[in-house]
């Protein structure tokens, strides 16, 4: 693995390294860790990278690594820069034969996303999009149950993502995370809807197996002086005329990272909360609520998709880093299978990809357009 971005002054890079590292299949071999050469070098040293593989630009990294012998060359490149700087390294990596892991949202614009997707299809390479929350085993369990029809026909989807960390104008108080995420030039057209709304939308589509078809958005800038939405709620229509509601806010003072989803079908409903991720609540119309729990020992209860993503027996809580690790693990196993000429299993292939990336960018564009429209329902256009 080579990393673009993620120097010592960044947040998500460290998370990616722990996640990639977790299951012993992936090693960080090189990096272009910062646009600041000082930081790039210092970060490389801190991460025990050899000096000659501590690059100053992604261009240099991709160019030099692509010339290395196959047994030394990295297999993929992870891109953890701010949104506006995803497309360049991702496209160049694909063009040079490297698989790619990229933070969400996949790109800065929908058009870039479509180009990447096209390139992925042309090259046959793998692109992995780190929609972390779909890496949790109980999310996969919910998806599997709905797919198998356990709840009957899906009827209603509620998803909410509440944070409070942008309750003040922190972007003016030296908070680097806040600064780029609320800056239209770095973040893109949307603020909260891009940063966390895309996670919520992806989760809803991933678990329900249904795609958004129409939407009606109310986007707000609550904190005066901010340049992008920090709060919003969206009425949704999904395929099969299923309705839903998505809320995403970063001004819910006192909330941490409160992502919840509830999906109801004819026979029952599921409820999952990211802050207690090892539990899946399954409510039934005509029998008692059941509490399903993550754990590698629940082979008689959990689907193969959930089980594959548990490392420990029930009662040994796994969390955010493990969910992140699952995405890397599945991606790495897919690459390994392909290297060995084998067909990856459908459990291995269960990580978000370019198609999810395009839908995420389309969500941003559509939700912003709807927010500005006087019309009630607008079509979800890609």
String of contacts with a copy of itself for each residue 19-38, x by CB under 8 A: --xxxx--------------
Nearest to 262 by CA among 283, 235, 285, 293: 283
Residue range at the interface with a copy of itself (CB under 8 A); choices 201-209, 307-315, 340-348, 359-367: 307-315
d(CA 285, CA 155): 13
Strand pairing partners for 284? 268
Task: Sheet containing 268-273: give its strands across.
Answer: 279-284, 268-273, 258-265, 154-162, 243-249, 231-238, 212-220, 378-379
Contact call for residue 122 and a copy of itself (CB under 8 A) = no
Contact call for residue 161 and a copy of itself (CB under 8 A) = no
Between 175 and 304, name the residue whose CB sits nearer to a copy of itself.
175
String of contacts with a copy of itself for each residue 185-204, x by CB under 8 A: --------------------
Q: How far is the CB of 147 from a copy of itself (least distance, A)?
A: 18
Backbone dihedral angles phi then psi of residue 41, each to the nearest 5 degrees: -70, -45
For residue 125, give Cα distances in angstroms to 128, 153, 237, 336, 338: 10, 35, 33, 13, 10
d(CA 74, CA 16): 16
String of contacts with a copy of itself for each residue 273-302, x by CB under 8 A: -xxxxx---xxxxxxxxxxxx-x-x--xx-
Between 172 and 316, name the residue whose CB sits nearer to a copy of itself.
316
String of contacts with a copy of itself for each residue 316-335, x by CB under 8 A: xxxxxxx-------------
Burial class (CB in 10 A: 0-12, 13-18, 19+), 93: buried
Contact call for residue 45 and a copy of itself (CB under 8 A) = no
**115, 164, 183, 338: which one binds a copy of itself (CB under 8 A):** 164
Between 69 and 254, name the residue whose CB sits nearer to a copy of itself.
254
Q: Which of residues 211-230 bind a copy of itself (CB under 8 A)?
A: 216, 218, 220, 222
String of contacts with a copy of itself for each residue 48-77, x by CB under 8 A: x-----------------------------
- Under 8 Å between Cβ of 292 and 280: yes
Size of the site for a copy of itself (CB under 8 A): 84
**65, 103, 160, 205: which one binds a copy of itself (CB under 8 A):** 160
Q: Which of residues 133-152 bind a copy of itself (CB under 8 A)?
A: 151
Q: How many CB atoms lie within 10 A of CB 243?
A: 13
Burial class (CB in 10 A: 0-12, 13-18, 19+), 70: exposed
Q: Cα angle at 125 between 211 and 137, to 5 degrees?
A: 50
Residue range at the interface with a copy of itself (CB under 8 A); choices 79-87, 120-128, 189-197, 239-247: 239-247
Residue range at the interface with a copy of itself (CB under 8 A); choices 33-41, 53-61, 99-107, 154-162: 154-162
**1, 15, 125, 146: which one binds a copy of itself (CB under 8 A):** 15
Contact call for residue 315 and a copy of itself (CB under 8 A) = yes
Q: Would you give the end-to-end CA distance of the chain in angstroms? A: 32
Nearest to 220 by CA among 244, 250, 242: 250
Peptide bond into 210 cis (omega under 30): no
């Amino acid at each position: 693995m080579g990393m673009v971005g993620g120097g010592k002054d960044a947040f998500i890079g460290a998370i990616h390294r722990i996640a990639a590292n977790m299951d012993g299949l992936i090693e960080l071999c090189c990096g272009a860790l910062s646009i600041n050469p000082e930081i790039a070098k210092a970060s490389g040293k801190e991460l025990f990278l050899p000096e000659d593989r501590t690059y100053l630009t992604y261009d240099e990294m991709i160019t030099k690594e692509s010339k290395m012998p196959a047994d030394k060359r990295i297999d993929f490149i992870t891109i953890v820069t701010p949104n506006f700087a995803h497309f360049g390294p991702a496209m160049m990596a694909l063009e040079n034969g490297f698989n790619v892991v990229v933070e969400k949202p996949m790109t800065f614009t929908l058009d870039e996303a479509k180009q990447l997707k096209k390139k992925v299809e042309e090259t046959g390479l793998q692109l992995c999009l780190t929609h972390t929350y779909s890496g949790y085993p109980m999310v996969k369990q919910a998806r599997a149950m709905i797919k198998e029809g356990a709840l009957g026909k899906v009827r209603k989807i509620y998803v909410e993502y509440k944070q409070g960390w942008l309750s003040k104008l922190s972007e003016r108080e030296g908070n680097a995370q806040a600064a780029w995420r609320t800056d239209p030039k770095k973040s893109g057209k949307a603020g909260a809807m891009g940063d966390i709304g895309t996670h919520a939308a992806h989760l809803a589509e991933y678990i329900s197996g249904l795609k958004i078809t129409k939407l009606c958005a109310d986007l707000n800038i609550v904190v005066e002086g901010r340049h992008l939405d920090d709060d919003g709620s969206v009425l949704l229509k999904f395929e099969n005329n299923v309705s839903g509601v998505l809320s995403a806010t970063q001004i819910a003072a006192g909330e941490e990272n409160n992502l919840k989803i509830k999906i109801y079908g004819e026979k029952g409903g599921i409820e999952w909360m990211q802050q207690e991720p090892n539990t899946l609540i399954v409510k039934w119309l005509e029998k008692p609520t059941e509490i399903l729990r993550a754990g590698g020992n629940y082979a008689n209860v959990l689907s193969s998709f959930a089980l594959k993503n548990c490392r420990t027996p029930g009662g040994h809580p796994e969390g955010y880093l493990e969910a992140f690790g699952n995405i890397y693990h599945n991606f790495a196993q897919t690459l390994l299978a392909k290297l060995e000429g084998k067909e990856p299993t459908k459990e291995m292939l269960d990580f978000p990809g370019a198609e999810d990336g395009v839908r995420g960018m389309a969500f941003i564009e559509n939700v912003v357009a709807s927010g500005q429209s006087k019309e009630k329902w607008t079509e979800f256009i890609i």
